[in-house]
Structure formats: structure tokens, C-alpha cells
Amino acid sequence: MAQSSSTSPAVQPSGAQLTTTRTTVEFRAALIAMAVVALIPLGVSNPYWLGVLVVSMYFAILAGSWNLLAGYTGQFSLAPATFAMIGAYTTGLLNHYFGTPPLLGIVAAIVVAGLIGLLLGRAVMRLVGPYLALTTLSFAEIMRLVTANSIDITRGDLGLSVAGLMDSRVGWYYLFLGALVLLLLMFYLLLRSKAGLFLQAIRDDEVAARRAGVNVVFWKTAAFAISAAACGFAGALYAHFAELVTPELGLIGQTGLIVSMTVIGGMGTLAGPLVAAFLVYVMSEWLRDVGGYQLVVFAALVVIFARFFREGLWGLAKAAVQRGRQA
């Protein structure tokens, strides 16, 4: 019946092992990249560039979180920056009005962003593609405008000053790096679990996933909530780093950067968006002198990668390694 094979199912690598291997390879690559990032302060002491790298890590967390939702689950939300803004304002308002300690504020930010993500996830449950994108874009703009116009509470565009955690740039650098590695580990464990299987199944074919018995409503909502909570975490950390929260955190341009980083790095890959976050943000700093043209450059890159390199930089790196092995 079965094909005779020199490698019986008992001894050949199982599919689960293969999937695990694929995710594990990406995880290890991301860890190596993070190890390189950890060494940078040994050679770079300029506070400006350390600040740039801290913000890169902020975006790396956002790109990784959005990638979980869009890359692994197929839900193309345009609100990751909004959830970062929600997290930032949660801890900012608590700190500003009630003197809540930053650590407690950060926990509250995770919970609030996660709950709003859960509600939004339920609201957009039946929407796909452009309808989902436009609805989440509307949500993002409404949240930003409400925040900007609630001057009595948020001080609007003047911004809300927030207590810092420490003065050391290097300290912030490693705090963000620790947060990034922690989230990377959490996403890795999630993707290796049955949840990872279900999320990817939903991305590929929602009807087939339902047929297979996957509770699509639960897992789509869970992905939305987890992604939002992670964005809220990043936003809250950033609020205490910058010591100022403004509605600009939720600008659509910020979401554009997050999408660019993920597409350029490789949607649905663990390592790509994280590495691309550094490349894109550092490049955006270099291109700052040319003003708004930086967005043109990233938009062009996104078009090129989406059209010709669907697996992004991760796919290119993988192909280069394979070519190297064959040579």
C-alpha cells in the first residue's frame, strides 16, 4: 500500500519537527541579530544614535506584533500604531493624573490595549481584505482625533508629560532589547504551539480551517488581542522613554512604517520584520534631510518587495544560503 521507502515514517523527520525547524531557524536567526544589536553600545556611544536604535527597537516590537496578526493570521489591520498610542496614553494618563508607577502603568497599558484589540477584533470578525483594512484605518483615525481633541484630558497636540524610568540611554537600550527578545520568545512559543498551526491555517483558508474544526472566531480574536496588547506594551515603554506622549504616535504614517518594515523584512517570518525595523528606521534617519521623500523611498521598496520578493529580506537571505550550499 504505502510506498516502500528507505526512510520509514518512524525514522524520518516528522512534519511537526520540520515546521518546528523552520520556525526555530527563524528564531535563532532573530536571536543572532539581537545578539549583534546587543553589542552595538560597545562601539556606539553617541546618545543620538543610541536613541535612534531604541526607537528602532520600538518599531521592531510593533512590526513583530503586526506580523503576528497580518503575516501569520492574514488580518490586515491598519491600527498597530494606534494600539501603541493607546498603550502610551494609558500609562501616561495614569501617571500624569494619579501618579501611578510606570511599571504598573505598563501593565495597565498591556491590558487596556489588549481589551480594545479584543473588542475591535470581534467587531471586524467577518471582514477581510480591503474592508478590514479600511475599517481599522477608520478606527485608527477616530482614536487619534478623539485623543488630539480631548484637550482637557490629554492636552491634545501639546502632549502629555510622563515620568521617565531612568536617565541612562544605554539602560533604555537594553531594556528595549530585553522587551524585544521577550516578545520574540513569546511569539516563537506561540507559533510552535497548536495556536500557531491554527493561525496559519486561518490565514491560508478560513473556510478550510472551520471545516477542520478550528474555532476561527476565537483564534482570530485572540490574535487581534495579543497583537494589540504587544503594541500597547511597546507604546507604554516608549512613553516612559520619551517622557512625552502625543497623538502623533498614532499617525497613519507610523503604521506605514510598520507595514514597510514587515513587508521588506518578510511577512509571516519571525526574523525578517525585526531586522528590517532596524534597517528601515536607521535609513529613515539618514534620509531625514530629504524630508518627505523618505516615505517615497519606503513606499517604492514596499512595492518592489511585494511584487518581486514576497518573502522579503528573509526570503532573499534564505535563497542566498541555499545557493551557497549548492555552490
Partner 1 sequence: MTLLSVRGVSKRYGGLTAVDQVSFNVEAGELVGLIGPNGSGKTTLLNILSGLAVPDSGEILLDGAPCQGLTPERLAQRGVMRMFQLTRVFRRMNVVDNLLVAGRALGLGADEALLRADALISELRLDVIRHLDAGQLSGGQMKLLEFGVCFMVPPRIALLDEPFAAVHPTMKEIMGDFIRARHEKGQTFILVSHDMPVVVELCQRAICMNAGGVIIDAATREVLNDPRVIEAYLGGHAV
Give the residue, chosen from 15, 99, 291, 292, that forms a contact with partner 1 under the rule CB under 8 A.
15
Q: Which is nearer to partner 1, 262 or 284 (CB)?
A: 262
196: nearest Cα among 75, 72, 12? 72
Q: Which is nearer to partner 1, 14 or 150 (CB)?
A: 14
Q: Does 3 bind partner 1 (CB under 8 A)?
A: yes
Q: Minimum distance from CB of 15 to partner 1 (Å)?
A: 2
Q: Minimum distance from CB of 213 to partner 1 (Å)?
A: 4
CB 274 within 8 A of CB 63: yes
Q: Does 292 bind partner 1 (CB under 8 A)?
A: no
38 residue type, one letter = A
**Which listed range, 5-13, 45-53, 100-108, 296-304, lies at the site for partner 1 (CB under 8 A)?**
5-13
- In sequence order, the β-bridge partners of residue 161 are 244
For residue 49, count other CB atoms closer than 10 A to its CB: 15
CA distances from 43 to 28, 47, 155 (A): 24, 12, 39
CB 256 within 8 A of CB 137: no
Give the residue, chosen from 68, 214, 258, 264, that forms a contact with partner 1 under the rule CB under 8 A.
214
Give the residue, chosen from 40, 44, 216, 252, that forms a contact with partner 1 under the rule CB under 8 A.
216
Give the residue, chosen from 45, 150, 168, 215, that forms a contact with partner 1 under the rule CB under 8 A.
215
Site for partner 1 in 225-284 (CB under 8 A): 268
Q: Which is nearer to partner 1, 211 or 325 (CB)?
A: 211
Give the residue, chosen from 96, 203, 220, 240, that forms a contact with partner 1 under the rule CB under 8 A.
203
**Which listed range, 3-11, 26-34, 136-144, 251-259, lies at the site for partner 1 (CB under 8 A)?**
3-11
- In sequence order, the β-bridge partners of residue 125 are none
| The three cell numbers locating residue 91 | 500609562
Site for partner 1 in 19-48 (CB under 8 A): 19
Beta strands in 15-163 (DSSP E): 160-161
Q: Does 325 bind partner 1 (CB under 8 A)?
A: no
Q: Does 5 bind partner 1 (CB under 8 A)?
A: yes
SS3 label, residue 299: helix
For residue 209, count other CB atoms closer than 10 A to its CB: 21
Q: Which is nearer to partner 1, 19 or 161 (CB)?
A: 19
Q: How many residues bind partner 1 (CB under 8 A)?
A: 31
- In sequence order, the β-bridge partners of residue 244 are 161
**Residue 160 phi/psi, 5° resolution?**
-115, 125
Query: Could you give the count of Cα atoms lying within 13 Å of 205 in the half-sphere of its Cβ?
Result: 6
Pairwise CA distance, residues 53 & 33, whole Å: 13
Task: Kindly list the residues in this chain that would bind partner 1 in the complex (CB under 8 A).
Answer: 1-3, 5, 9-10, 13-16, 18-19, 194, 197-198, 200-201, 203-205, 207-216, 268
